[in-house]
Amino acid sequence: MGIVSYPRAVRILGAAVLLFATTLGASEPAADSRLVFIWTWAGRCGTPRCVEEERRFLAEVDVFYQIRTGDTTTSVELRKDGRLYVDKVPMNLSSKQIAALYAALDGVRRDLEGGSTWTQRVRVLPDGGLFTLAFSLDTQLHVVDGSKDYTRKEYVPLLNLLQVYAEPAAASRIIPREDETRIIGYRIRHDMPDHLALEVEYFYDGSKGSHVFVGANPVNETGVVMTGYRPNQLQKGRHTTCTVVSTYSESPERFSSDIMKIELYVGGGEVFLEDFVPLRKKWSKVPSPDLRCCDACSRGCRE
């Protein structure tokens, strides 16, 4: 996945070099239907035509979204006048739908300004789907290219809204199936400056065998923070278990986190499911951290 900011700076997160053209305009008035922009992943906009089209985009369009699945390509465009187009066809949106889109866009802008870096799987996108998202921030054009399995969390709420317009059936993918391995919920059972016990409700379909576990890691704007966890083994079906997350010798002395990454994994092998949940905490490392934790945590981890 990459992100490119034009015209004053270029930021690339990822190694891909991509050059393609796409139609950003909607259909009806002829003057509005030829907003073509050439996105060059390897460098800034350099030709007079490219610069001109970039200015037109910044002046007329708030969000452009394109989803590519196999041989199918669908585009969604939200203009500054509040009109939304799907494959160049104007859509009639309610005031609540428009407000939701702009609220999600504002959230993306705020999150990017905060500098968060962690990524999240986008459930609403189809398997194998690739997306392109373009929007303006501080008079610069941001172009993002990503996929279902590797997407910065800042874009997830906006993608969830836009994908439903591109593919109405996409909304059903946000809700897991009853027989699908998933994190159902969580709660804090015990919280101390250097550790916490996190109770996790889950459903496990048994497809990865019996040697599977749950663990968790705190996340902040720098990414996953150096901590340890005491895992617990999963059982097939719907159950509640717990993992103890603790600082240790390599952890920072003091830090804050606003997200907890809960993971299900095969013992000694792959992490096969991750879920990012909002959980704010200020951490302080104790002189002799002990990952085994305390009796109160152990009691709290029982079903």
Higher-confidence position of 289 and 263:
263
HEC sequence for 179-217? CCCEEEEEEEEEEECCEEEEEEEEEECCCCCCCEEEEEE
User: Which residue's structure tokens are 């390509």?
Assistant: 73
Q: What is the pLDDT of residue 11?
A: 25
Greater confidence, 83 or 23? 83
- Torsions phi, psi of 153, nearest 5? -65, -20
Question: For the chain, what is the radius of gyration of the CA atoms?
Answer: 22
Q: 65-74, 198-207, 231-240, 288-297: which has the minimum mean pLDDT?
A: 288-297
For residue 290, the model assigns a pLDDT of 59
Other Cβ atoms within 10 Å of 195 Cβ, number: 26
Q: pLDDT tens digits, residue range 12-69?
A: 222 222 222 333 332 233 333 334 444 443 345 667 777 777 888 888 889 999 999 9
The rounded distance, in Å, linking the Cα atoms of 138 and 5 is: 10
HSE value, Cβ hemisphere, 13 Å, CA-based, for 135: 23
Edge-to-edge strand ranges of the sheet holding 195-204? 182-192, 195-204, 237-246, 228-230
Alpha carbon separation from 70 to 130, 156, 160, 162 (Å, rounded): 9, 22, 20, 19
Between strands 119-120 and 61-69, the pairing is: unpaired
Span 112-158, pLDDT tens digits: 776 666 677 788 999 888 998 988 877 778 888 888 877 887 888 89
Please say whether the dihedral angle defined by the alpha carbons of residues 42, 43, 48 and 50, taken in this order, is positive or negative: positive
Q: In whole angstroms, what is the distance from residue 236 CA to residue 212 CA?
A: 10
Cα dihedral 160, 165, 167, 170 sign: positive
Cβ proximity of 288 and 266 under 8 Å: no
The structural domains of the chain, with segments of one domain joined by +, span 2-173, 182-300
Asked if 208 and 159 touch (Cβ cutoff 8 Å), the reply is: no
Q: Are 152 and 146 in contact (CB under 8 A)?
A: yes
> Which residue type, as a one-letter code, is found at position 171?
A
Pick the CATH number of 182-300 from 1.10.3470, 3.40.50, 2.60.40, 3.30.160: 2.60.40
pLDDT at 116: 60
pLDDT at 115: 63
Q: Which of 147, 144, 154, 151 is nearest to 130 (CA)?
A: 147
Residue 216: pLDDT above 50? yes
Distance, CA of 249 to CA of 85 (rounded, Å): 54
- What is the average pLDDT score of the chain? 78
* Helix and strand counts by DSSP (H, E) for the chain: 4, 20
pLDDT of residue 32: 37
Element (H, E) at 220: strand 212-220
Q: Which of 45-59, 71-85, 139-153, 212-226 has the highest mean pLDDT?
A: 71-85
In this model, does residue 209 exceed pLDDT 90? yes
Look at residue 164 in the predicted model and tell me its pLDDT: 94
